[in-house]
């Protein structure tokens, strides 16, 4: 069996970087306030381009459905049908329009200075320090870059390009899937999982060289609503019950040490995330995260108990708490099929790099897809510092990701 471990050769023999840059120029920012699917129509611009390119690469069934899910099949050998997934949208946390990628060739290890006083400093950005001599790509500082997840899309497309140019390289039947609205947690929602027909799938969604993920947060939301008693403030003595004052008390009582800003690695948190309302009625959205379901449900109990303690302070006050499931820790499902993680680790090592099995302090489309019966771990696509103007990617890392995908497919072809 032939394996791939030359990242630079991958960059020379495919249009990986050109593809990536062309995808970053298409604005695909998703919008969590929109009810439609896709949440923004312009995700179709990238979807339609990809369908055309997939057809040119010989995937004759390439299509986009009415919800903006792109699917295509490359027939291959072996018993397994393997999915390769990436997401079309970018986060709304930073502008995604008019992205101008900047190449820092033969990177010299110094802080990278961009527009708007944006600085990416290897002193605080460990991975950047590892990229001396690489080509590092950033935005110009006014937008995000969109390596999350257009690097993943480009890597999948370049794997298909490589198979077209080298038909002797073994691979299983590959199902390609590009999903809308991952950044707003809906990438899995209308995924045509039955029609897709894969036995296992892999997202290419973020992470520096060698990082693979078979574990994500277990995620819930809490919605706390405080209803007070409104009156004219000029005649409010003894009558007004101000919802804002009681919401402030509730938030102040949340344990400070169980917050995103005070936790790391395998620690979970309670994070008051968004607040809206007025003196009459006020609502707070909190996100609850941990790697263990029991613990995250414990965070929900803390929220309920604190809400109840606030409600007790005034009999006229009404405080409601709703807890909603968001996504599961994919490990619950993947641990039943340990061969998937083993094979993925082997594919990384065959690329000549170390396999770093990291839990994601977040979720991917694979979290809910794994719950729905399609086991879907994540493979690094090279990008770092997502959702902001300091986002960057190393071309060498992208080349290694492509090596890993080709090696993984070789292993599945048997």
User: Binding residues for Zn ion, per CB under 5 A?
Assistant: 148-149, 205
**Residue nearer to Zn ion on the CB measure, 71 or 216:** 216
* Shortest reach from residue 213's CB to Zn ion, in Å: 12
* Shortest reach from residue 89's CB to Zn ion, in Å: 9
For residue 338, count CB atoms less than 10 angstroms from its CB and return exposed for 0-12, middle for 13-18, buried for 19 or more.
exposed
- List C-alpha distances in Å: 102 to 12, 134, 135, 197: 19, 13, 10, 39
Measure the CA–CA gap between 399 and 9, rounded to whole angstroms. Answer: 8
Asked if 182 is an active-site residue, the reply is yes
Token duo for residue 131: 């990229």
Asked if 161 is an active-site residue, the reply is no
**Residue nearer to Zn ion on the CB measure, 151 or 319:** 151
Exactly one of 182, 205, 218, 391 is catalytic; which is it? Answer: 182
* Shortest reach from residue 152's CB to Zn ion, in Å: 7
Backbone conformation region of residue 44, classed left if phi is above 0, alpha if psi is from -120 to 50, else beta:
alpha
**Residue nearer to Zn ion on the CB measure, 3 or 127:** 127
- List C-alpha distances in Å: 117 to 114, 216, 295, 330, 389: 6, 33, 40, 38, 10
**Residue nearer to Zn ion on the CB measure, 212 or 303:** 212
Which helix (H) or strand (E) segment holds residue 222: the answer is strand 218-227
Exactly one of 27, 89, 183, 211 is catalytic; which is it? Answer: 89
Given a contact cutoff of 8 angstroms between Cβ atoms, the answer to whether 14 and 158 are in contact is: yes
Token duo for residue 179: 């999903």
* Shortest reach from residue 147's CB to Zn ion, in Å: 9
Measure the CA–CA gap between 304 and 319, rounded to whole angstroms. Answer: 9
* Shortest reach from residue 188's CB to Zn ion, in Å: 13
**Cα atoms in the 13 Å half-sphere on the side-chain side of 96:** 25
**Residue nearer to Zn ion on the CB measure, 87 or 350:** 87
Catalytically active residues are: 89, 182
């Amino acid at each position: 069996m032939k394996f791939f471990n030359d990242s630079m050769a991958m960059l020379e023999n495919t249009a990986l970087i050109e593809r990536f840059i062309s995808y970053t120029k298409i604005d695909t920012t998703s919008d969590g306030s929109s009810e439609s699917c896709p949440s923004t129509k312009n995700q179709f611009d990238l979807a339609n381009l990809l369908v055309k390119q997939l057809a040119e690469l010989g995937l004759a069934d390439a299509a986009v459905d009415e919800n903006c899910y792109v699917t295509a099949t490359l027939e291959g050998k072996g018993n397994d049908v393997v999915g390769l997934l990436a997401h079309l949208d970018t986060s709304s946390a930073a502008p995604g329009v008019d992205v101008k990628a900047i190449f820092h060739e033969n990177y010299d290890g110094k802080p990278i200075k961009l527009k708007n006083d944006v600085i990416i400093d290897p002193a605080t950005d460990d991975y950047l320090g590892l990229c001396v001599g690489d080509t590092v790509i950033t935005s110009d500082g006014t937008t995000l870059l969109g390596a999350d997840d257009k690097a993943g899309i480009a890597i999948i497309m370049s794997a298909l390009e490589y198979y077209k140019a080298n038909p002797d390289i073994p691979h299983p039947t590959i199902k390609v899937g590009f999903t809308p609205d991952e950044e707003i947690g809906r990438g899995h929602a209308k995924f045509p999982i039955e029609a897709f027909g894969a036995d296992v799938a892999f997202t290419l969604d973020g992470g520096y060289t060698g990082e693979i993920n078979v574990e994500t947060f277990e995620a819930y939301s809490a919605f706390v609503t405080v209803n007070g008693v409104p009156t004219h403030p000029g005649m409010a003595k003894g009558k007004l019950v101000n919802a804002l004052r009681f919401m402030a008390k509730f938030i102040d009582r949340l344990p400070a040490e169980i917050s995103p800003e005070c936790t790391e690695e395998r620690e979970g948190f309670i994070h008051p995330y968004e607040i809206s309302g007025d003196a009459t009625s006020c609502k707070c959205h909190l996100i609850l995260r941990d790697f263990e379901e029991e613990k995250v449900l414990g965070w929900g109990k803390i929220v309920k108990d604190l809400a109840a303690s606030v409600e007790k302070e005034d009999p006229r006050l009404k405080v409601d708490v709703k807890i909603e499931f968001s996504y599961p820790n994919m490990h619950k499902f993947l641990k039943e099929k340990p061969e998937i993680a083993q094979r993925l680790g082997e594919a990384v090592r065959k690329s000549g790099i170390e396999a770093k099995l990291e839990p994601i302090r977040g979720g991917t489309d694979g979290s809910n897809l794994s719950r729905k019966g399609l086991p879907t771990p994540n493979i690094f696509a090279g990008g770092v510092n997502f959702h902001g103007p300091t986002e960057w990617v190393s071309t060498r890392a992208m080349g290694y990701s492509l090596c890993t995908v080709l090696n993984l497919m070789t292993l599945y072809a048997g």
